[in-house]
Chains A and B, each alone.
Chain A
Amino acid sequence: MEMKVESGKIIQTKDVSPSGMKIIWQEIKKDKLAMGSLIILVAILVFVYGASFFMDAKEIAKVDFLSIYMEPSSDYWLGTDYGGRDVFGQLIIGTRNSFTISLFITLFTAIIGLSLGLLAGYFGGATDNVIMRVIDFVIALPQLMFIVVVVTIVPVFNVYVFILIMTMFLWTGKARLIRSKALSERELDYIHASQTLGTPHWKIILFQLLPNVSSLIIVNFILNLAGNIGLESSLTFLGFGLPESTPSLGTLISYARNPDVLENKWWIWVPASLMILVLMLSINFVGQALKRAADARQRRG
């Protein structure tokens, strides 16, 4: 935005340059698909988190043999499963659980990946070497086998264990991404300038380097969020996910392993599958728009 000088007086037109957030917002507004996705996403999340607030999870998880495999009706909007449990209720709680799990996995991996990536990239040398060897080690571990083993040996397999174990494996990609960006940023003179100006390393990392990798992080965060929703479901489907007592989208879909359910009782697994599809797609579309915004920002230098 321009500043106008009128008769010697300086009139400042509000905040001067469009900030990163504003550019991102403008990019989403321009992109109809992303805008639509964002609206759908927010609507689903508000509804799911709102509705689950008034629902009794215990009530929904309670087995009722009098109402097994009921078709959708006015009592049970989406019918019931083999335990007579309300599928609609499970869908709401399941969506909430799946999304929350995905959010926390993404959040924790982002924190670990960001910290280690920035340290490795900024300091380079021995620090970088140690961190990279740790990453190599984690990547070399057979993930699925590890998960299977953990699922079998832990006494209580719950949401927290699940988040923990997924976080353990999934931070490496982020760390590498951030590291390579930080490696190239630290060769730029603005970092050198900060060093010669007497700014301590931690301040340079937090206040000079971090803002310049932030768009990369936001985009990566959003895209990972989508991926991690699918991840939980596919692991649950394979039987290494969450127990039935914790409704999740994966639990609902995994009922489809039963051929009878798959063929004749669509109301159990189709809504959950659609939910995953809609969530993943809409998050992805928003993420793609953000990615473009971030690129444009980089082009402008």
Chain B
Amino acid sequence: MTLLKVDNLKVHFPIRGGFFRRVVDHVKAVDGVSFELQQGETYGLVGESGSGKSTTGKAVVKLNNVTSGQILFEGRDLAALSRKEIKPFRKDIQMIFQDPYSSLNPKKRVLDIIAEPLRNFERLSPAEEKKIVQDFLDKVGLSPESIHKYPHEFSGGQRQRIGIARSLTLKPKLIIADEPVSALDVSVQAQVLNFLQDLQQEFNLTYLFVGHDLGVIRHMCDRMGVMYRGRLVEEGNSDEIYDNPQHIYTKRLIAAIPDLEPEVREEKVQLRKKLSAEYESSYSTFFDENGRAYDLKPISSTHRVALQ
């Protein structure tokens, strides 16, 4: 079942300039992106910094205004709804933010942070509320006494768990995870990732997982889309993309993954040189005269690539 269908999504930010601060140009942060998420799967959006991944994710939760295109959630177009009309959908779609330091209000206790969504949607007695919050704290591996503490008393990994608990309290169907581990120490990254997978099982969640680390995305995601300058350049099953990349940008992205074994390192350097040459020579098969990636074309039943 299709849970989320993003169709030709465009998010353009105006650039203002001049004396009257008129709109002089647009940043085409997202410029015609389409993908679908099936119920229960994890879909990854990968690409370099600035490629428009976060903007795509934020558009789904209405943190950005959509310039054009559709965001169909269970068949309803969220892009066409006003902020008021979107409120019931807030329960179903939640977001986990990249920075665990700025995503929790420093002046609020954990109880108030995690209970905030509950207070917006449900009428609960303080005791019921506390019980629910403590249950979720337990689920994310924090002690129930944490409710009286403030965010600065926790480590980055623990804070991210608090953010995750907050996003779970309304029992959402879809979670947008915007680089949920990239601000964390490598040692706790795997921990949080595995734990996100456990939660997916338990709560039957669908993830839109945003990241710049192909390794992490491959580990987490069933399918992924590769973004480049606001466009999807390749989409398919994670293994397909990783083992058989077709778009030059995807190839370069994979070749850029650092390798620890010295023998392979030399090989990698050669590969990168080769790809660099291929990029120059075959530029026009992948990008039009404006440097914009072409629309995706299927090359197998699951694999799509932006080719001429």
Contacts and interface: CB of A to CB of B under 8 A. Distances in A.
A192 B61 CA distance: 10
Contacts of A214: 107
Interface string A277-301: 0000000000000000000000011
Contact of B102 (A16, A20, A188, A195): A188
Contact of B166 (A3, A192, A197): A197
Nearest to A10: B145
Given A12-B148, A16-B149, A198-B90, A190 B63 contact: no
Contacts of B101: 301
Nearest to B118: A197
A17 B150 contact: yes
Nearest to B119: A199
A190 B102 contact: yes
- Which size bracket describes the interface of B in this complex? 35 or more
Given A189-B99, A211-B107, A212-B106, A196 B63 contact: yes
B97 A193 contact: yes
A175 B184 CA distance: 37
Given A16-B148, A17-B150, A301-B152, A196 B105 contact: no
Q: Which of A12, A20, A196 gathers the greatest number of chain B CB atoms within 10 Å?
A: A196
Q: Which of A189, A192, A193, A214 gathers the greatest number of chain B CB atoms within 10 Å?
A: A193
A189 B149 contact: no
A208 interface: yes
B149 A193 contact: no
A300 B152 contact: yes
A58 to B, nearest CB: 49
A110 to B, nearest CB: 19
A152 interface: no
Contacts of B152: 17, 300-301
Interface in A177-201: 188-190, 192-199
Interface string B82-110: 00000100110111011101111111110
A263 interface: no
A198 B120 contact: yes
A198 to B, nearest CB: 4
A198 B98 CA distance: 19
Nearest to A199: B120
Interface string B112-142: 0000110011000000000000000000000
A192 B149 CA distance: 22
B148 A15 contact: yes
A54 B227 CA distance: 77
B163 interface: yes
B202 interface: no
B97 A197 contact: no
A167 to B, nearest CB: 29
Contacts of A189: 97-99, 102-103
Contacts of B280: none
Contacts of B62: 195-196
Contacts of A193: 95, 97, 103-104, 163, 166
A194 B97 CA distance: 12
Contacts of A195: 62-63
24 contacts: A3-B145, A16-B150, A17-B148, A17-B149, A17-B152, A189-B97, A189-B98, A190-B104, A193-B103, A193-B104, A195-B63, A196-B61, A196-B63, A197-B170, A198-B91, A198-B117, A199-B116, A199-B120, A211-B107, A211-B108, A212-B105, A214-B107, A301-B106, A301-B152
Given A198-B91, A208-B105, 8 more contacts: A17-B149, A20-B107, A189-B97, A189-B99, A192-B63, A198-B117, A198-B121, A199-B120
Interface of B: 58, 61-63, 87, 90-91, 93-95, 97-99, 101-109, 116-117, 120-121, 145, 148-150, 152-153, 163, 166, 170
Q: Which 10 A-B pairs have the closest CB atoms?
A: A189-B103, A198-B90, A211-B107, A197-B117, A189-B97, A190-B105, A188-B102, A198-B120, A17-B150, A16-B148
